[in-house]
Amino acid sequence: MAHSHSHGSPSLPQDDNARRLLLAFVVTAGFMVVEVIGGLVSGSLALLADAGHMLTDAAALLFALLAVHFSRRPPSSRRTFGWLRLTTLAAFVNAIALVVITLFIVIEAVRRFYAPQPVGGGIMMGVAIAGLLANILAFWLLQRGNEAQNLNVRAAALHVMGDLLGSVGAIVAALVILFTGWTPIDPILSVLVSCLVLRSAWRLLKESVNELLEGAPLSVDVDALTRHLRRAIPEVRDVHHVHLWLVGEKSLMTLHVQVIPPHDHDALLDRIQHFLAHHYQIEHATVQMEYQPCSGPDCQLSAVQSGHHHHHH
């Protein structure tokens, strides 16, 4: 990986993230292949479920790597946000892939439950333990790079965490088969592993869809924000046309504020910007200040209870 160390220190956490992601990707992808072979040789569905899980891990890590790469590309006049959204799109595709794999595993598990197949417990055990160690290594690599964690690194770490549980499931199934010879435990545990996969897929789907639909960050209540702003800065009479959305984890906001004509326009603007940055971590806000009350059909959109709409300016 040849990284461009173009802009001094700010890119260092990025480089560190990229290196960790690459290592975690190599570990995960490598072991996924081992698990697929182990699963086919031993006839274990739990191992294959875990391999499916590892595939999604590897994909998550690959997306995260691409995200780090694209977030370095400077914005252009055509793409004023750069390529940051691509990472969200990747997370979305990844979540859907997870759901598809889970369905396949569950269908196969149901089939095997009705027609049990022989499973080689010994091979299964060895591969499952190796997979567990690989996951621990990958998780450790990702956990340490949390200075500049973005959605993708977090998603990848989450995946690997779920994967740890998947490997534990496969180990338990192998133990049961070795000691009792009861093979249906294998499909049962593969379904449990699949449920874990679905949980992380659902969370990822929710976050990425919210971002793709220009939804506000899930942590911010926009109505409460406008009320808070009017309370905190007495010159602000009304707030309308509020838009708040995310681009690759960055919050962006545009809003119109009707204010009592200030002595110092820039100082008031500065206070509003500071309020948003300080209380809501919105670093990039575009504020349009107005001295006349809002009029026209769009004003009702504002979350304002005043109800008096004046004539046009």
189-201 confidence digits (pLDDT tens): 888 888 877 887 8
Instruction: Decide which of 1.25.40.10, 3.40.50.1820, 1.10.150.80, 1.20.1510.10 is the CATH code for 9-212.
Output: 1.20.1510.10
The pLDDT-based confidence of 297 (bands split at 50, 70, 90) is low
Q: Is there a contact between 304 and 238 (Cβ–Cβ < 8 Å)?
A: yes
Helix (H) or strand (E) segment spanning residue 109: helix 84-114
Residue 251 gets which letter from DSSP? E
Strand duo 250-259 + 236-247: pairing: antiparallel
Q: Of the ranges 66-75, 217-226, 261-270, which one carries the lowest mean pLDDT score?
A: 66-75
Tell me whether domains 9-212 and 222-301 share a fold. no
Q: What percent of the chain has pLDDT over 70?
A: 85
Distance between CA 154 and CA 200 in Å, rounded? 11
222-301 belongs to CATH 3.40.50.920: no
**Amino acid in position 250:** K
Question: At a CB cut-off of 8 Å and minimum separation 6, what does 141 contact?
Answer: 20, 23, 24, 27
pTM to 2 decimals?
Answer: 0.68
Q: pLDDT digits over 89-117, tens only?
A: 878 888 888 888 888 888 988 988 888 87
Domain boundaries, the chain: 9-212, 222-301
Six-digit token string for 49: 């479920």
Helices (H), 6-72: 12-42, 45-72
Whether the pLDDT of residue 6 is over 50: the answer is: no
3-state secondary structure of 249: coil
Task: Show the tokens assigned to 279.
Answer: 């209380």
